[in-house]
């Protein structure tokens, strides 16, 4: 019986580098990959058939046979197009049915002729709605032609696509991709380049709290668009980019730059980056916010993916249940370091490592060696099993002792907290069933044996939150008592898990209701004996009880200030994309104005019913904040509002909320109001309000805004009739 690998691993070989198959098969470590992709074949501009030059013909014709001599389990694919392909030729081909047929027939014929087991289509410049509809037709006809073949194993059909389903002016044809392709190669790199941006950037950022141009957003867009996660293969770039810094002292991500460094495009392979670091003794920095490595030598700044990044990205792919990952491209690696790292991560957290690797291991055609290796493995396994029994008993004893110490530490600092057993929480949440899931890592309602309803926050094992941060959240939430803060009941740290047990809020997350959040923030910033900066205020961290009363939750990222402290600095940026203010992202500065910024974003979400991780406007090129501001200065604020919100009693209510929100999300922290001022503006219709400046991270400047606003006359009217709760402890 042939097992299908659960996690496929692909390797691109670019023949224009002079890497021919006869050389490739001698050094490719097949145990690191399940598939090899030979790139690229072109399209003839007149016949629209697959075009293979005479120089490439000898490589293509021998590629599969040569590779399989030592790597028989590896599947080979031929990739067509690529970044240097002629866009106009592809457009002409896909827009005409007879041209498409000519291309499809020749591609299948070429694959069969050269022994490739699949075809990959790489058209990264597709952009218009016409391109997308024609692409859909191409894949439908291509798959139909493959299905019509008889007497041969079915060809694999894949495509390379950008990091996100959204192009500049259209979206990819999800239905056709899902129906007709085996999987997609998601090119989650080249998001930024020194030729395009005059600021240092993470060109393959996994996350980005400032904008939606990142891998996490892109993968989410494909899945939300209707593409199953198990049809996505994540791209890992084995190269980085070098920028020339304007000021060597300003060398963080987002620092001003004047263009590429080292090479014309700034692109530099991982192997060359490693040599560069060793030659100049550069200090390597890992940024957990964007998930990227970078180093600086004088005015040269290089951003790239090193070992730490690859580990996180492969873990990300596994956690999101993607089909696998691919590397572009293998000659850029340094002695297989990144490729081996990825495979290690792929196997280290599961029990299927041997099963997966057995599918792609190099077979040695010498029976005597196989027998010897088998005997040796049996002996080693027996020895290891005996050793493991002893180690397990010792480790188990030590683990129990550590748990008792940690639990005692919690109880000493917060004696009212319950130390829950893992088995009790498992029963309460029905073994953490999908039906009981509340967002990412949350489960509820769970019912304890005493009948109490609970919600459980279960940290992912790949989470960057360490034990100290988990301890911080437990201690902090236990000490804070307020009607608008979620109450923590206890914790569980058994079986290497980290879980928090909360009172259950039956109405789940606050996505379109607001009032009361201001009171919770006021308590944290002004009225509690501690000044607390939450640092992760967002819609999913505001929960509602039976009476729709909002409560702030999740204090894992919170920090305590003394009453006279104004701001603090950190080198580790935490938070959630779309809610993090610019001074925190760029300089690591956080203050009470950080939470004010997050509150402003939250308020804009509430009154619009829209998400932060999407683009808006006529050309779909504006963030939610920019879109709100543009409509506000044009006196079209009501076009921004969620039509389901009741605004009949006071036509100015939502507009006033909009203005308050825009004041909260201004670029300069000093321009933002305090939560005390925000509360006053919400409660008192006569409280004066300034005109907001452009929101943070805007692509445009404040020029001409005053002119656009000159005719705007905002009325002062009542906010609503809701009662604001008093600030009292409970």
Predicted local distance difference test score (pLDDT) of residue 682 = 77
Cross-strand bridge partners of residue 532: 560
Predicted local distance difference test score (pLDDT) of residue 626 = 93
Supply the DSSP symbol for 639.
G
The secondary structure of 417-486 as a DSSP string is -EE--HHHHHHHTTTT-GGGB-STTEEEEEE-TTS-EEEEEE--TT-S--HHHHHHHHHHHHH---TTBP
d(CA 96, CA 188): 30
Predicted local distance difference test score (pLDDT) of residue 570 = 56
Helix (H) or strand (E) holding 50: strand 50-51
Predicted local distance difference test score (pLDDT) of residue 52 = 81
The CATH number of 414-504 is 3.30.200.20
Q: What Cα–Cα distance (Å) separates residue 152 from each residue in 117, 147, 182, 248?
A: 10, 10, 17, 60
pTM comes to: 0.55
Q: Find out whether 190 and 562 touch, Cβ atoms under 8 Å.
A: no
- Collapsed DSSP state (helix, strand, coil) of residue 297: strand
Cross-strand bridge partners of residue 284: 295
Predicted local distance difference test score (pLDDT) of residue 578 = 81
Domain ranges of the chain: 8-238+304-358, 367-413, 414-504, 570-730
Residue given tokens 């620092």 in the structure block: 255
State both tokens at 306.
């090193």
Residue given tokens 């002409």 in the structure block: 92
d(CA 205, CA 198): 17
Half-sphere exposure of 369 (CA within 13 A, CB side): 5
Predicted local distance difference test score (pLDDT) of residue 162 = 95
State both tokens at 652.
């100015």
Q: Angle of helix 592-608 relative to helix 624-633, nearest 10 degrees?
A: 70
- The domain 8-238+304-358 is placed in CATH, from the list 3.40.50.720, 3.40.50.10490, 3.30.360.10, 3.20.20.80, at 3.20.20.80
Q: Kindly list the catalytic residues.
A: 536
d(CA 698, CA 457): 34
Widest distance between CA atoms in the chain? 91
State both tokens at 4.
């299908």
CATH superfamily to which 570-730 belongs: Transferase(Phosphotransferase) domain 1 (1.10.510.10)
State both tokens at 696.
């943070």
Q: Find out whether 624 and 602 touch, Cβ atoms under 8 Å.
A: no
- Collapsed DSSP state (helix, strand, coil) of residue 701: coil
pLDDT along the chain (730 residues), means of 10: 42 47 49 84 94 80 83 89 91 96 96 95 91 96 96 95 86 95 96 94 90 90 92 95 95 93 95 93 89 95 95 91 89 89 68 29 29 45 51 44 48 64 84 64 73 78 57 67 69 79 62 54 62 74 66 71 56 71 83 89 86 81 92 89 60 77 94 88 79 87 52 33 28
State both tokens at 549.
């009363």
Strands 232-237 and 324-328: parallel
CA angle 204, 210, 214 (to 5 degrees): 25
């Amino acid at each position: 019986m042939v097992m299908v690998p659960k996690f496929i691993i692909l390797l691109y070989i670019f023949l224009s580098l002079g890497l021919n198959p006869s050389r490739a098969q001698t050094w490719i470590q097949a145990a690191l990959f399940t598939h090899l992709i030979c790139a690229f074949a072109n399209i003839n501009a007149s016949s629209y058939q697959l075009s293979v030059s005479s120089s490439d013909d000898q490589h293509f014709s021998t590629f599969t046979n040569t590779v399989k001599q030592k790597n028989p389990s590896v599947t080979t694919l031929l990739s067509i197009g690529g970044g240097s392909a002629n866009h106009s030729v592809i457009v002409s081909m896909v827009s005409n049915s007879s041209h498409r047929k000519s291309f499809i027939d020749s591609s299948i014929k070429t694959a069969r002729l050269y022994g490739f087991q699949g075809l990959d289509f790489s058209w990264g410049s597709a952009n218009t709605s016409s391109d997308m509809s024609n692409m859909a037709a191409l894949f439908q006809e291509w798959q139909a032609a493959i299905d019509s073949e008889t007497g041969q194993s079915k060809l694999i059909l894949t495509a390379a696509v950008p990091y996100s389903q959204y192009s500049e002016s259209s979206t990819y044809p999800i239905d056709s991709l899902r129906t007709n392709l085996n999987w997609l190669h998601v090119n989650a790199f080249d998001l930024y380049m020194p030729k395009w941006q005059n600021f240092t950037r993470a060109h393959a950022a996994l996350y980005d709290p400032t904008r939606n141009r990142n891998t996490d957003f892109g993968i989410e867009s494909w899945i939300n668009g209707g593409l199953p996660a198990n049809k996505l293969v994540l791209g890992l770039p084995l190269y980085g980019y070098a920028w020339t810094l304007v000021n060597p002292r300003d060398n963080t991500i987002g620092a001003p730059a004047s263009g590429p460094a080292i090479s014309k495009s700034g692109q530099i392979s991982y192997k060359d980056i490693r040599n560069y670091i060793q030659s100049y003794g550069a200090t390597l920095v890992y940024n957990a916010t964007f998930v990227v490595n970078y180093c600086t030598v004088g005015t040269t700044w290089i951003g790239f993916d090193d070992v730490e990044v690859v580990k996180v990205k492969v873990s990300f792919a596994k956690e999101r249940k993607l089909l696998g990952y691919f590397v572009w491209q293998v000659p850029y690696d340094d002695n297989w370091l990144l490729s081996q790292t990825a495979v290690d991560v792929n196997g280290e957290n599961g029990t299927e490592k041997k099963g997966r690797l057995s599918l792609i291991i190099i077979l040695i055609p010498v029976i005597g060696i196989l027998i010897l290796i088998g005997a040796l493995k049996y002996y080693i396994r027996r020895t290891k099993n005996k050793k493991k029994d002893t180690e397990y008993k010792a480790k188990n004893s030590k683990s129990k002792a550590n748990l008792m110490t940690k639990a005692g530490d919690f109880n000493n600092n917060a004696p009212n907290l319950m130390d829950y057993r893992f088995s009790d929480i498992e029963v309460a949440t029905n073994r953490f069933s999908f039906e009981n899931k509340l967002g990412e890592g949350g489960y509820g309602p769970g019912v304890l044996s005493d009948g109490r309803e609970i919600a459980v926050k279960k940290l992912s094992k790949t989470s960057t939150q360490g034990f100290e941060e988990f301890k911080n959240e437990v201690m902090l939430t236990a000490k804070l008592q307020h009607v608008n803060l979620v109450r923590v009941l206890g914790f569980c740290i058994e079986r290497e898990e980290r879980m928090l047990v909360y009172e259950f809020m039956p109405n789940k997350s606050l996505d379109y209701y607001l009032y009361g959040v201001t009171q919770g923030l006021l308590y944290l910033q002004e009225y509690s004996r501690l000044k607390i900066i939450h640092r992760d205020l967002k819609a999913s961290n505001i929960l509602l009880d039976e009476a729709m009363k909002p409560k702030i939750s999740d204090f894992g990222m919170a920090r305590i200030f003394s009453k006279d402290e104004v701001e603090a600095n950190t080198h580790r940026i935490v938070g959630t994309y779309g809610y993090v203010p610019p001074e925190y992202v760029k300089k690591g500065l956080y203050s009470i104005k950080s939470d004010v910024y997050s509150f402003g974003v939250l308020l804009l979400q509430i009154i619009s019913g829209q998400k932060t991780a999407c683009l808006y406007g006529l050309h779909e090129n504006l963030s939610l904040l920019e879109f709100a501001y543009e409509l506000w200065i044009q006196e079209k604020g009501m076009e921004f509002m969620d039509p389901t919100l009741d605004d009949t009693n006071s036509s100015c209510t939502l507009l006033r909320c909009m203005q308050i929100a825009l004041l909260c999300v201004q670029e300069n922290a000093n321009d933002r109001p305090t939560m005390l001022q925000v509360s006053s503006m919400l409660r008192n219709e006569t409280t004066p309000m300034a005109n907001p400046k452009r929101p943070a991270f805007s692509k445009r400047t404040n020029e001409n805004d005053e002119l656009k606003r000159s005719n705007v006359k905002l009325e002062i009217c009542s906010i609503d009739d809701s009662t604001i709760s008093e600030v009292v402890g409970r």
